[in-house]
Structures are given as C-alpha cells and as structure tokens.
Amino acid sequence: MSAPQVAQQVAARVRASRLHRVWTQQELADRSGMSLSSLRRFERTGEIAFLSLVRIAIALDAVEGLGELFPDRPGSLDELLAPPKRQRGRRS
C-alpha cells in the first residue's frame, strides 16, 4: 500500500468509529480540540497533523493502537547499529 492509501484507510476507520458512536463531525472535532474543517479534510483526504491524529485517538479511546505502531525492540540503538558479533562453531 502507498502512504496516501494507508492514510485514507486510517481516515475511514476514524469515520467509522465516529459514526459507531453516533457523533457528528462537529462533536469529534470539539472532543479532540481541533477545527471542524481540519476533521472534514482528514476524513476526506487522509491528511492530518500527527498531534491532531493523537487527539482524535484519545477522543475515540484508541490510543493503544498508536502505541502498537512501532513496538519496542530489545537492546539499545548502539547495539542495533553495531556489526554482528561472530561466534565460533562448536567443536565435535
């Protein structure tokens, strides 16, 4: 999928979640602290500032989903960037 397709899919899920709660666009905009025009543009095009998306996720009680976008990986950044350690094979 392309970035615009992913963004459009997220916007469609937000819209579906809003409609499931029987909220108008104005209600969701008010609850998330954003302008109605920004919410309308997001639902139509998928374009939104990240902080606005976070505010929408909070309003729709969907913050956990944002945390799952990039799961924690064990180890530090230095360990991830270091060349792999070579290990000797077992002796028979």
**Domain harbouring 10, CATH code:** 1.10.260.40
Domain count, the chain: 1
pLDDT band at 68 (very low <50, low <70, confident <90, very high): confident
Cα 21 from Cα 78, distance rounded (Å): 45
Residue 31 CA from chain centroid, whole number: 18
Per-residue model confidence (pLDDT) at position 77: 67
Asked whether residue 74 is domain-assigned, the answer is no
pLDDT tens-place string over residues 17-58? 999 999 999 999 999 999 999 999 999 999 999 999 999 999
Structural domain of 18: 3-63
Give the residue with greater pLDDT, 9 vs 87. 9
Confirm whether 77 is domain-assigned. Answer: no
pLDDT at 78: 72
Q: What is the mean pLDDT of residues 59-71?
A: 87
Residue 16, number of CB atoms within 10 A of its CB: 10
